[in-house]
Amino acid sequence: MRNAPTILHLDMDAFFASVEQASKPSLRGKAVVVGGLGPRGVVATASYEARVFGVHSAMPMAQARRLAPNAAYLVPRFGLYRSISDQVMALLRALSPLVEPLSLDEAFVDLEAGGAAWDEASARLAGQKLRADIRAVTALTGSVGLAASKMLAKIASERAKPDGLVLIEPGTERALLGPLSVRTLPGVGPATGDHLRRAGISTVEEIAEAGEDELVRLLGKAHGHALYAMALAHDERPVVAERETKSVSVEDTYDVDIHDRLRVGLEVQRLADRCVRRLRGAGLSGRTIVLKVRRYDFSTLTRSETLRGPTDDPAVVREAAARLLDSVDTTGGVRLLGVGVSGLADYTQEDLFAQAAAGEGVDVLAAEAVPEPVAEQEAVAERRWPAGHDVRHAEYGHGWVQGSGLGRVTVRFETPGSSEPGRVRTFRVDDPGLEPTDPLPLVPGGQGVR
């Protein structure tokens, strides 16, 4: 472990919810919950105002609504989140060539590798400048942790939340870690935490006191050794700039179980197309097609098929996914479906299209089009106006959807730069003057969705 706090961990504060508050003046300072709004939806992010009521990530949306009935509930705008994440990651890469993104809103940075910091004072200055630059570029806040290791830098950023900076001075690590819960350490989840608690170990200091042999006896050789080292503040993991993508996948959870086999097949085809779009967007192809099916009783099945070579052809992926579906019994109903591609490469093997063609003369354009059942077309029409998404009206300008139903859509007309909440108006869902549009940048002159 190094002797200067030159590893930085950035965690954007309540990222999705903060983006929504920054782009919607009427929601600033209010409880905001972002996630799936259906009966089986879960919370992706809750603003700090919503967390006061006990709402947190991964909570069922129905439970969140009971805890905070007056919060604003919004459908995620992932395109905007990714665009803002790109801006933040660009700021991090200006500091160092060693940036390890963990998600859209979180990353490690090796400041020493980029010459941005070499001691405590320079590390603190780099962290302060980064927070100021993030606010200037995105209008958002991020919390920064600085320490001599990745584990401690992440702990420091948690202690800095929200909108703060915490630096752990070398030499003080053991004193800081000692009274903390064992759940603070990486790799200690609920099951491991309960196992340690039953053995009388609930703090990091008690892990160190128990000794390495006892931890190996309780948790096994690899886990026991690693946990003991971390309890002593030893963490030699480097910041890794490129984390190889192992798979690309998409999945949908359905509000009502799907029983119709034809509908299940069409959903799988649609998911295959979405997966290929994501695959192509990343400039990748893959050899192994994976189908995931969660049935009515919560049992989850996965099936896979490996092709002769990598492909990004939608017809090939659809055909393989359909073959995999043939081996799965869905008669009791399906609550979740997913399609993925693994065995990734940065090239394609063009002749694989032959695998998807039933014979000569296949119309490629026809193969690209997967018809949707009438019921699904109607559902899509009903969902044209997701809560929180951007719209533009020919007369009133830019706004966002507050809600829709019964043939009506309610829109609040305001923009990120507004100082006051905008006016609310209601329209028919088929109003010719109203149409979906792209999000506006959070900062004037900045980037919106690319």
Could you give the CA distance from residue 163 to residue 315 in angstroms, rounded to a whole number?
47
Could you give the CA distance from residue 445 to residue 450 in angstroms, rounded to a whole number?
14
Could you give the CA distance from residue 146 to residue 308 in angstroms, rounded to a whole number?
47
Q: Looking at 106, 112, 267, 414, which residue is catalytic?
A: 106
Per-residue tokens: 50: 């919503």
Per-residue tokens: 182: 């064992």
106 is catalytic: yes
Pairing outcome for strands 142-147 and 106-110: unpaired
Distances (CA, A) of 218 to 137, 179, 226: 48, 21, 13
Could you give the CA distance from residue 148 to residue 381 in angstroms, rounded to a whole number?
53
Q: Report the Cα 25 to chain-centroid distance in Å.
A: 24
Is the Cβ–Cβ distance between 21 and 30 less than 8 Å? yes
Burial of 361 (0-12, 13-18, 19+ CB in 10 A): exposed
Nearest of 325, 322, 314 to residue 362 by alpha carbon: 314
Could you give the CA distance from residue 105 to residue 7 in angstroms, rounded to a whole number?
17
Q: What does 336-399 look like in DSSP terms, one character per residue?
A: EEEEEEEEEESS--GGGHHHH-SSTT--HHHHH--PPPHHHHHHHHHTSS-TT-EEEETTTEEE
Q: Provide the β-strand partners of residue 400.
A: 390, 412
Which residues have a catalytic role annotated? 106
